[in-house]
Amino acid sequence: MSKLKRMMFCLAVCCVFLLPTSGAFAATGFYFNGGLQTGNYYGASGNIECDELEDVGNDVSVWVMVAGQSSTEYIQAGWGRHWDQSRNYHFYQYNGDEFYHRETGVASPGSTYSYKVERTGNTWSIYIDGSIEDTVSHSDLGWTAGSAQFFGEVHDSEADQSPGTVSDPVTSGYLRVKSSSGTWSDASFTNTYEDLPHQRNNADEGDDNYEQWDNRYS
Amino acid sequence: MLLSKSHRFWIMAIAAALLIAAAMFTLQQMQVFANEETGKVEPETMNLASTGDKVLDEKLHSHNVFFTVADDVKPLITEEEAIQSAKQHRPALAEKAKSISAQFVKYTNTVDGTEERPIWLVTLEGVSVPMRGPVGLEKKEPDYENLKTLIYVDAGTGDVVELVSMGYN
């Protein structure tokens, strides 16, 4: 093998191993911005501001959630937008013994909406802006709660704008959790997350509200 | 006046039958009252239209969603226009769907108050929206044998009313 060929071979090998870790390429996955509170909760609620999204390359959403012990067990409500949609939509979604997702109407940028998922007895109820949207039997979920979560989420590390801008962050306020005895109280984050370098928030442990934004958007 | 044994027997029998009928009527009324309390409509009281998938029908009913036969109204938009509207609403999902079909029905949701709204029920087979969270989620696609996305298109205006994605075994 000539010297030139050997050099080209080495360069190609370097490209294969180094470029994917260089951060120059967008990655699809699940990236979170916000906080959670661990515990066996029977409800989560909050008032979430809806904001304009400049770029949606995959999927962007903001929500409140009660999650189970595994990463595929949850019931949530909030607003979001898939890349092939032109507007933000209210949605609720759950996964457990079955998957169910429903989009009920347009969420307008500049407005703040209340979202709530709540278990009473054997029934979960989902509320958007004060109106009941659905009821789900707890047996259709088939799991026990392990946390209440309050996040903004993107699925493409580069092409999705994480909700909020530096000058106009998205506020998630009046975040509350419902205990298994049925009492609602202010949330108190036990963990906070900024999964991507440009995903920023002002959430601290113990908070029951926070602002989030994407550092790349002024 | 004294009644014969056979007259007494028949009077007793008729009285017993009347009592049983009254009891059954009362029980039925109590049942109706209970259903009104929970907001659930009994499927047997509606002229239900099947999606063609019995499991899907049952799951929709459990979500308080009922489709009924729409034989007394006519859609203002055609089936093709309804499918086109659904495709424009979610082009990527429509492109991935194994098949797309539409059915003209009336849509009732006993929880959110929607009552007998004429719609084209557009079904996208084999696709669903992605899962969103929670922290630690690694899988985007719901892991079920059956994936369906239903897009409700208003039969008068062609506007998309709502979208439902489901996964089940």
Q: Tens digit of pLDDT for each residue in B104-147?
A: 999 999 998 899 999 999 999 999 999 998 998 887 788 899 99
| Helix/strand/coil (H/E/C) assignment for every residue in A178-211 | ECCCCCEEECCCCEEEECCCCEEECCCCCCCCEE
pLDDT band at B164 (very low <50, low <70, confident <90, very high): very high
Q: Is the pLDDT of residue B21 over 80?
A: no
Interface of A with B in 79-98 (CB under 8 A): 80, 82-85, 89, 91, 93, 95, 98
Burial (CB count within 10 angstroms: exposed 0-12, middle 13-18, buried 19+), residue A11: exposed
What are the two backbone dihedrals, phi and then psi, of residue A122, each rounded to the nearest 5 degrees?
-105, 15
Q: Say how far apart CA A78 and CA A162 lie, in whole Å.
A: 15
Q: Give whichever of A10-14, B24-28, B66-70 has the largest mean pLDDT.
A: B66-70
Coil, helix or strand for B106?
strand
- Neighbouring C-beta atoms of residue B54, cutoff 10 Å: 9
- Strands, DSSP E only, in chain A? 28-38, 43-49, 59-68, 74-82, 89-95, 99-106, 112-120, 123-128, 131-137, 145-156, 170-178, 184-186, 191-194, 199-201, 210-214
pLDDT band at A3 (very low <50, low <70, confident <90, very high): low
Smallest CA–CA distance, residue A99 to chain B, in Å, is: 5
**pLDDT one-digit tens code per residue, A54-113:** 999 999 999 999 999 999 999 999 999 999 999 999 999 999 999 999 999 999 999 999
Q: Do A199 and A170 meet the contact criterion of CB atoms below 8 Å apart? A: no
Burial (CB count within 10 angstroms: exposed 0-12, middle 13-18, buried 19+), residue B44: exposed
Q: Do B133 and B142 meet the contact criterion of CB atoms below 8 Å apart? A: no
**pLDDT one-digit tens code per residue, A162-206:** 999 999 999 999 999 999 999 999 999 999 999 999 999 999 999
Q: What is the count of residue pairs from A and B with beta carbons less than 8 Å apart?
A: 120
Structure tokens at B129: 């929206």
A172 touches chain B (CB under 8 A): no
**CATH class of the domain defined by B46-168:** alpha beta
B36 touches chain A (CB under 8 A): no
Q: Name which of B64, B142, B168 is nearest A134 (Cβ-Cβ).
A: B64
What pLDDT does residue B18 have?
75
What pLDDT does residue B36 have?
44
B145 touches chain A (CB under 8 A): no
CA distances from A18 to A10, A13, B45 (A): 12, 8, 66
pLDDT band at B35 (very low <50, low <70, confident <90, very high): very low
Pairing of strands A170-178, A210-214: antiparallel
Every domain of chain B and the residues it spans: 1-38, 46-168
Query: What residue has token string 């009592």?
Result: B19
Q: Say how far apart CA A44 and CA B12 lie, in whole Å.
A: 61
Q: Name which of A80, A84, A133 is nearest B132 (Cβ-Cβ).
A: A80
What pLDDT does residue A5 have?
67
Whole-prediction pTM value?
0.82
**pLDDT one-digit tens code per residue, A129-169:** 999 999 999 988 989 999 999 999 999 999 999 999 999 99
Cβ-proximal residues to A202 (8 Å cutoff; 6+ apart), any chain: A169, A210, A211
Q: What is the second-level CATH architecture of the domain A28-214?
A: Sandwich (2.60)
